Amino acid sequence: MESRTAIRVRYAETDAMGIVHHAVYPVWMELGRSDLLRELGQSYADWEKRGVMLSVAEIRVRYRAPARYDELVEVCTRLKEAGRRKVIFAYRVQREGTLLAEGESVHVVTGPDGRAHAMPEDLLRFISQAL
């Protein structure tokens, strides 16, 4: 399963050269993760209410081509791996078939206290349907 999130580049997301700033891509990736969970039938807020957090442990982005103000880009998000302690998402950001960036985010399952926890079995089954 792959979620697709359309984003219109805002002026505030660009740098002095008129190109989307590199720090914006992880924010777009977060939107993609949230949309993927919603498309599966739950929101990340639902998980938080249960005390299950996905804390970012690592994020990688490879920049391939620039995006600019007012362009329509698409963030394609998929689940790469789901385990009781770790979840990995993969992303592609594209514009009309041109790859702009690709990356991954690694998440550790934690509780509200920020300490590592095992993912509840029902949530692991739920998210694994996206594999």
The catalytic residue positions are: 15
Start-end of H helices in 18-89: 24-40, 44-49
| CB crowding 1-38: b at 16 or more within 10 Å, else e | eebebebebeeebbeeeebbeeebbbebbbebbbbbbe
Q: How far is CA 5 from the centre of its chain?
A: 10
